Structure 1
Amino acid sequence: MRESHSDLDPSCGSATVIRSVSSRRHSVRISCVFCAVLTGLLWLLLSRGEFLSQLAAQDASTKAVPKQQKKRYVFKENHDPNGLGKFYMGREIAQVMGFPAADWLERPEREEEERLTELIRALNLQPGDVAADIGAGSGVLTLKMAEKVGETGKVFAVDIQQEMLNLLEDKIKDRKIENIELVLADETSPHLQPESLDLALMVDVYHEFAFPFETMLELSKAIKPGGRVAFVEYRREDPKVMIKLVHKMSEAQIKREISQPEFGLKWKETIKTLPKQHIVVFERPLPE
């Protein structure tokens, strides 16, 4: 302890050196602290700038979507009570037929009224084809398609209502069918793999798409080169077809909407063998 105190004794010659060293150390510490503070401030400024840039980019992206959709879709207060009041390319989008109306899809007279067997025949499905029933509902047409493509083929039953898929699932299990896969879609995508389909079929469903552009953009990606998309809709041109107006579509309107270049689909043919509906078929061209 005495030696320690002697080091601090002012009369000792080494005390000055110790103070000098201590002073330099203190100065160095202050300099280091100052550098650290300055570095921290610079980092905060740079981080804040980067954060603000990212925030601005996100904000711009968020604002761009509504503007784009605003141009694509128009909303009107005065509209058909069976529609959404949402208009796309001049037509009003119809309300979706909900799960409680599933019995209507199963009605015995549907075969005679719509000639479902003729519809499936006209599509010319082949064994081994991969097809999708978009808006499958309770699966009346899904089952007919599955029979056509056979054990080597496959049918995706796509619907946005889980209750509809549950009905079809019961049928599949009861009949021990193995070439049908259930797919729960959403309002903007059918959730199908790119270039996976030889045929996508939509029977009285396209006119109910809440986001037809977005859904068709995703669906068109799922079509193989040389694959087809078939729209079956009640003929709006025919006043004798007694269906609510928003649930009918003209051939011209279908062509106008589906021929948009973003989809990469070309009109192939319109089949008019059904009593009240037309089958408007588009194709993804093969690479040249």
Structure 2
Amino acid sequence: MELRPIRLLTLLLLVLFVSGVSSGQEKSVKPGINDTFRNPKPEEFVERFEIESREVFQQRENILEACQIKPGQTVADIGAGTGLFTRMFSDAVGDEGRVIAVDIAQEFLDHVKLTSHQRGQKNVETQLCTPESTELPDDSIDVAFICDTYHHFEFPLKTMASLRRALKPGGRVIVIDFRRIPGKTKDWTLNHVRAGQEVFESEIVESGFLKTREVNDFLVENYFVEFTKSATPGLKSPLYPIIAGHGGVVAVPNATEKPRSGAKLLLDATAAAPAGSIHKSLDRAARLLNLYGVAGLKASDVKIVVVLHGEATKSVLNDEFYQARFGVEQNPNLSLIKLLQDAGVEVFVCGQALNYKAFPESAVAKGISVAESALSVIANRQMDGYGYLPLH
């Protein structure tokens, strides 16, 4: 598989890393690695890199989905090259979003401008970087995408420190790069890529990021990892290894009591929640799953049942009924419930509570089970060996 054209991402002056220690890196970790990418001819690289034999091109749709790009975001494609992902991100962020193609070669940026214009993509910008700076303004981007490019950083600590400045608080970095495993990886990759995933991850963490996610289900020659910009020196950013965006947790490496596989838990939710807000019991279910993820376990290693009744009953109403009753356009709990269900969580609503609250069964969102009563769920699952967690 041919390597995509990689552009040397620029390096800013020294910054203070999360540890509070200034890091100097005056020597290139691999001098000359970018010499062949000066004055490129984009049409030649299109033929080499936008072909099915290249894994990241073949898996481009899966990669885009895994990036979890949202409409309205600003995404920087670092080392954009021929603009394959720049154009895909343009569609993903929509008219309200922005995509910035960053590259050291003006020839690539001109090609990105032309191809994006031909597609009518008006939200694409280009940014020429230098060996010393990305030229991206501070706090200007939501997501940085680095595909088969990180191993071309000659000054990785400075480069990532520069990128950290450009990210908004909580901003994400997605890194896709070649697996480098002696005895398994092709000789070309062993000779070309200076280090493996573990070394690259340690450099990124040292630069002020926390690893939050890894996707392993569709790439073979490459790996896909996500990092989040840490918010405060010394303060860990939340991790979302199983349920994205909800129930954030932090890793506690020296903890004496960790989640164990095989637990069965029943969460009894009755508390009220303001209309338009996520119910805390659902967020706690997400947190429970993420705790298992941080501990290296899978969602299937724990069985969770959530039963909603009392004031929590409204959390299961469909959008149409929710809006009519509470004046809020959408029920924000439904998307979280879907994520929980996809992870194997069973969600029930009490049929008695629905009647008491004058919510018809037809108002319950599709896919949510109506139990005869919450008491029935509690009694039955306790007989099945579930631990009872009242969240009142």
- Please tell me the TM-score bracket, short chain as reference: 0.5 to 0.7
Deviation at 1:117, TM superposition (A): 1.1
Equivalent-residue separation in structure 1 for 2:199 and 2:56 (angstroms): 27
Equivalent-residue separation in structure 2 for 1:224 and 1:95 (angstroms): 30
- Structure possessing the higher radius of gyration over alpha carbons: 1
The aligned length equals 202
Match of 2:132 among 182, 188, 191: 188
| CA pair 110-238 structure 1, distance change in 2 beyond 3 A | same
Paired residue for 1:252? 198
| CA pair 230-94 structure 1, distance change in 2 beyond 3 A | farther
Partner secondary structure for residue 114 of structure 2: helix
Deviation at 1:158, TM superposition (A): 0.3
Equivalent-residue separation in structure 1 for 2:70 and 2:169 (angstroms): 16
TM-score, length basis structure 2? 0.48
The runs of 5 or more residues in structure 1 that have no matched partner are 1-70, 75-85
Q: Do 1:230 and 1:281's aligned partners in 2 also have CA atoms closer than 8 Å?
A: yes
Q: How do 1:110-149 residues align onto structure 2 when only pairs under 5 Å count? A: 110=54, 114-149=58-93
Equivalent-residue separation in structure 1 for 2:164 and 2:130 (angstroms): 16
Q: Structure 1, residues 94-147: CA drift from partner, whole Å, max 9, x if none?
A: 723522452312224336765111111111111111110000001001111111
Paired residue for 1:95? 33
Paired residue for 1:166? 110
Q: How do 1:209-220 residues align onto structure 2 when only pairs under 5 Å count? A: 209-220=153-164
Equivalent-residue separation in structure 2 for 1:233 and 1:152 (angstroms): 30
Match of 2:176 among 213, 226, 232: 232
Q: Structure 1, residues 35-88: CA drift from partner, whole Å, max 9, x if none?
A: xxxxxxxxxxxxxxxxxxxxxxxxxxxxxxxxxxxx7355xxxxxxxxxxx43x
Equivalent-residue separation in structure 2 for 1:232 and 1:251 (angstroms): 10
Do residues 201 (structure 1) and 201 (structure 2) align? no
Deviation at 1:237, TM superposition (A): 2.5
Deviation at 1:171, TM superposition (A): 0.4
Counterpart of 1:225, as a letter, is P
TM-score, length basis structure 1? 0.64
| CA pair 112-202 structure 1, distance change in 2 beyond 3 A | closer
| CA pair 221-235 structure 1, distance change in 2 beyond 3 A | same
Equivalent-residue separation in structure 2 for 1:95 and 1:180 (angstroms): 28
The runs of 5 or more residues in structure 2 that have no matched partner are 1-23, 236-392
Do residues 275 (structure 1) and 220 (structure 2) align? yes
Equivalent-residue separation in structure 1 for 2:201 and 2:60 (angstroms): 23
Q: Do 1:115 and 1:275's aligned partners in 2 also have CA atoms closer than 8 Å?
A: no
Partner secondary structure for residue 165 of structure 1: helix
Paired residue for 1:72? 25
Q: Structure 1, residues 186-242: CA drift from partner, whole Å, max 9, x if none?
A: 123211111111110000111112332222211110111111111110111374443
* Greater fraction helix: 1
Partner secondary structure for residue 144 of structure 2: strand
Partner secondary structure for residue 244 of structure 1: helix
Counterpart of 2:202, as a letter, is R
- What fraction of aligned residue pairs are identical, expressed as a percent? 30
